[in-house]
Structure 1
Amino acid sequence: MKLVVVSAGLSVPSSTRLLGDRLAAAASAGGGVEVQVVELRDLAVEIAHNLTTGFPGPALDAALSAVAGADGLIVVTPVFSASYSGLFKSFFDVLDRDALAGKPVLVAATGGSARHSLVLEHAMRPLFAYLRAVVVPTGVYAASEDWGAEGLAERIGRAAGELAALMGGAAAGAGRGEGVAVRVGEFEVVPFAEQLAALRAP
């Protein structure tokens, strides 16, 4: 299985990238997962050109293909003005609108204050729901004071476990040419096609 991390961190080193790396390590701990990282800071110029011309450059095209071909995504953004960064949003604006349909996605964000933690629910989750992705129940927000404090490692482990479970279910369904229901903690994620078939059944 292939897991792609999309990091919108701007600095080097970046706490956004660090959070993405920790989530990826936890999600791939069981083995059998290839991890690829897409650093949006390196694609900023090509993203801007794509928005104005409609055509991606070579590096952006490779990144878009990697995201579209992934079995699961971890998407991480720094918080600017109480929302995801413009660079983060611009990347998903140029992605094909059907590329994330049915794809498991773990949303995460970093910020200077815990006051911005609701960005996961009021900005990121609606964005990926609109793109028809399957967003894992647990999102991860890391404020400056969270690094090294209790609780972050537990949230990372829980979210990564949910993503790994969904990726495994999606891969099993793909092997049979269909979706399968996956239990994630207290939740059961049932593919839309299966729900629709149940409604149509006599």
Structure 2
Amino acid sequence: MKILLIDGTIIGSKTGAILEQVKVYIEQLNGELKLEILKLSDFEHQFVDGRPLEKYNDDMRLLVRKFEEAEGYVLATPIFQGSIPGVLKNTFDLLHPRTMRYKPVSIVANGGTHQHHLVVENQLKPILDYFRCLVTPNYVYTTTHHFGEGNVIVDQDVHDRLRELARVFVQYAEMGKNLSKETIDKH
């Protein structure tokens, strides 16, 4: 089962550090999952404006193909100015509504203040609901004080919550196997 771990920004490294830790915890729980970290910073992005997919550059088409081929996602995003990064929203705008349907998704986010965790509830979850994803009920939100030198996660509670997120994600991945295949077969 192919799982895409998405670093939803083109700058900074805290979000990627969280994603790397989640990857470790998922691998400890299920070594058979094929985990791939996808960094939006590795792609040449174009503004999504409604044109047909074949009119976008190779990187944008590759991004869509990676999302289509994945059978689950762990989405990591920073919170900037009380919102998800534009590059992440632009990526969602590129995807067909069925791309992520009935596939499991877990969310990790990082922001400068505790209040910005509401962005997950008010912006990100509605987008994922639109895609009809199987969003795990637990997400992990971190702030700067959870990190030490070199962006190493130093807060034990964050580690505990990331382990729990990984555990629930693995169970959702198992549950979603048949649901997502049925959707593909019917369309």
Structures share fold, TM-score greater than 0.5: yes
Q: Secondary structure at the match of 2:101?
A: coil
Q: What's the CA shift for 1:22? A: 1.3
Q: Secondary structure at the match of 1:6?
A: strand
Q: What's the CA shift for 1:9? A: 2.8
Q: How far apart in 2 are the matches of 1:157 and 1:58?
A: 36
Q: Which residue of 1 aligns with 2:167?
A: 161
Any unmatched runs of 5+ in structure 1?
Answer: 180-202
Q: Which residue of 1 aligns with 2:176?
A: 170
Q: Which residue of 2 aligns with 1:17?
A: 16
Change (3 A) 1:91 1:178: closer
Give the counterpart letter for 2:129 in structure 1.
A
Q: Which residue of 1 aligns with 2:84?
A: 84
Q: Which residue of 1 aligns with 2:97?
A: 97
Q: Which moved more, 1:77-86 or 1:52-61?
A: 52-61
Q: Which residue of 2 aligns with 1:142?
A: 142
**Structure 2 length normalisation: TM-score?**
0.84
Q: How far apart in 1 are the matches of 2:83 and 2:7?
A: 15
Larger Rg: 1
Q: What's the CA shift for 1:24? A: 2.1
Q: Secondary structure at the match of 2:49?
A: helix
**RMSD (CA atoms):** 2.1
Q: How far apart in 1 are the matches of 2:46 and 2:109?
A: 21
- Name the % identity: 22
Pairing 1:1-202 to 2, within 5 Å after superposition: 1-11=1-11, 14-29=13-28, 30-43=30-43, 45-48=44-47, 50-51=48-49, 53-54=51-52, 55-147=55-147, 148-171=154-177, 173=178
Q: What's the CA shift for 1:174? A: 6.2
Larger relative contact order (CA 8 Å, sep ≥ 6): 2
Give the counterpart letter for 1:61 in structure 2.
R
Q: How far apart in 2 are the matches of 1:51 and 1:25?
A: 37
Q: How far apart in 2 are the matches of 1:34 and 1:167?
A: 12
Any unmatched runs of 5+ in structure 2?
Answer: 148-153
Q: How far apart in 1 are the matches of 2:46 and 2:160?
A: 35
Q: Secondary structure at the match of 1:83?
A: coil
Q: How far apart in 2 are the matches of 1:7 and 1:51?
A: 23
Contact 1:3 1:72 in 2 (8 A): yes
Q: How far apart in 2 are the matches of 1:133 and 1:155?
A: 21
Give the counterpart letter for 1:25 in structure 2.
V
Q: How far apart in 2 are the matches of 1:47 and 1:97?
A: 19
Contact 2:102 2:179 in 1 (8 A): no
Q: What's the CA shift for 1:53? A: 4.4
Q: What's the CA shift for 1:124? A: 1.1
